[in-house]
């Protein structure tokens, strides 16, 4: 009798290549400051809040050095984390080995996810919509790979309410900020981008980071959940 051949894995969606991401200096800077901000600046607790209650298969975009991984609840069966920057991706691979849930780290940009349509229960974007080149395209990709009713968890910084800080943010975004911080922008509007992409907002809260002290251009933050 001829043995049955193993099942062929489902094809991945052939996607156009996303933008090339190479920020070696910023990657090394971020790898240092993000670890300290997690431990001493309250970011660790925010990451735990962001991921609390997630279940099933999760896709994470722009995973950086993988600081979210330690906070995934064990109800998550698998995380597929995309990170386009080579240095940060190597650090994310190390973090994945220490994670409480299975995490696979892959190269890839949010604008062109090499993943099947409808294949994830939830998606995570933390501190990344400020940096992707094309926010609508990135969110449209997240919608595509989420199953119907799948959740988007987001933790992002964005435009300030105060006119003076908002003006400063726009000026910085046109000049030095993206050059200094790996393509980051401070004046984007993540909530309206998420709803414009067709997600339904379920809950969110806005706050400043750090909560005390001077407001930085990247201080105004929003953390929440939206549904596909
Ligand atoms: C400020 S870091 C945040 C990293 C991580 N999400 C976190 O919460 O610490 C921004 C990340 O976005 C990544 N990135 C830049 N362009 C991207 C793109 N087009 N698609 C996905 N990720 C991108 C960067 O390499 C970097 O890891």
Q: Is residue 43 assigned to a domain?
A: yes
Q: Check pocket membership of 126 for ligand 1, CB cut-off 6 A.
A: yes
CATH number of residue 167's parent domain: 3.40.50.150
> Three-state SS string across 5-21, please?
CCCCCCCCCCCCCCCCC
Closest residue to atom 26 of ligand 1, CA basis:
64
Q: For ligand 1, is residue 62 a contact (CB within 6 Å)?
A: yes
pLDDT band, very low/low/confident/very high, at 8 (cuts 50, 70, 90): very low
Residue to substitute in 27, 50, 64, 184 for testing ligand 1 pocket (most ligand atoms within 8 angstroms of CB)? 64
| Residue 205 vs residues 99, 139, 149, 208, 225: alpha-carbon distances, Å | 27, 20, 21, 10, 10
Q: Is 219 a pocket residue for ligand 1 (Cβ < 6 Å)?
A: no
pLDDT at 13 > cutoff 80:
no
Output the CA 3–ligand 1 centroid distance in Å. 45
Report the C-alpha gap between 164 and 116 in whole angstroms: 43
Question: Quick check: is 14 in a domain?
Answer: no
Residue 7 lies in a domain: no
Ligand 1 pocket check for 67: Cβ under 6 Å: yes
Indicate whether 221 belongs to any domain: yes
Smallest CA-to-CA distance from 107 within 124, 125, 131, 90 is with: 90
Q: How many domains does the chain have?
A: 1
Q: Is the CB of 128 under 6 A from ligand 1?
A: yes
149 lies in a domain?
yes
**Whether the CB of 42 sits within 6 Å of ligand 1:** no
With respect to residue 9, please indicate whether it lies within any of the assigned structural domains.
no
Task: Compute, in degrees rounded to 10, the torsion defined by CA atoms 210, 53, 205, 60.
Answer: 70
Residue 198 forms part of a structural domain: yes
Residue 100, in any domain of the structure: yes
| Each residue's pLDDT tens digit, 128-158 | 999 999 999 999 999 999 999 999 999 999 9
Q: Average pLDDT in the 59-76 region?
A: 98
Which value, to the nearest 10 degrees, does the dihedral of the CA atoms of residues 38, 39, 43, 46 take? 120
Q: What is the pLDDT of residues 19-32, one digit of tens each?
A: 678 788 889 989 89
Using pLDDT thresholds of 50, 70 and 90, give the confidence band for residue 212: confident
Query: Residue 166 and residue 153: Cα distance in Å, rounded?
Result: 25
Task: Check if the beta carbon of residue 223 is closer than 8 Å to that of residue 190.
Answer: no
- Tens-place pLDDT, residues 73-115: 999 999 999 999 999 999 999 999 999 999 999 999 999 999 9
Span from the CA of 167 to the centroid of ligand 1 (angstroms): 25
187-to-101, 162, 176, 219 alpha-carbon distances in Å: 34, 12, 13, 11
Host domain of residue 210: 24-31+38-227
């Amino acid at each position: 009798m001829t043995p049955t051949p193993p099942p062929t894995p489902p094809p991945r969606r052939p996607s156009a290549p996303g933008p090339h991401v190479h920020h070696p200096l910023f990657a090394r800077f971020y790898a240092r400051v993000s670890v300290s901000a997690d431990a001493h600046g309250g970011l660790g607790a925010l990451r735990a809040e962001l991921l609390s209650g997630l279940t099933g298969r999760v896709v994470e975009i722009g995973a950086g050095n993988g600081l979210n991984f330690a906070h995934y609840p064990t109800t998550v069966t698998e995380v597929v984390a995309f990170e386009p920057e080579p240095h940060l991706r190597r650090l994310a691979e190390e973090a994945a080995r220490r994670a409480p849930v299975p995490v696979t780290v892959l190269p890839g940009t949010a604008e062109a996810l090499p993943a099947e349509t409808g294949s994830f229960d939830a998606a995570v974007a933390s501190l990344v919509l400020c940096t992707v080149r094309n926010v609508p395209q990135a969110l449209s990709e997240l919608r595509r790979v989420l199953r119907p009713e799948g959740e988007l968890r987001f933790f992002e910084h964005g435009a300030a309410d105060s006119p003076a800080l908002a003006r400063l943010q726009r000026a910085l975004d046109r000049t030095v900020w993206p050059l200094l911080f790996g393509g980051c922008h401070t004046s984007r509007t993540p909530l309206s981008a998420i709803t414009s992409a067709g997600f339904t907002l379920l809950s969110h809260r806005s706050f400043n980071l750090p909560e005390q002290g001077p407001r930085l251009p990247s201080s105004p933050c929003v953390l929440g959940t939206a549904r596909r």
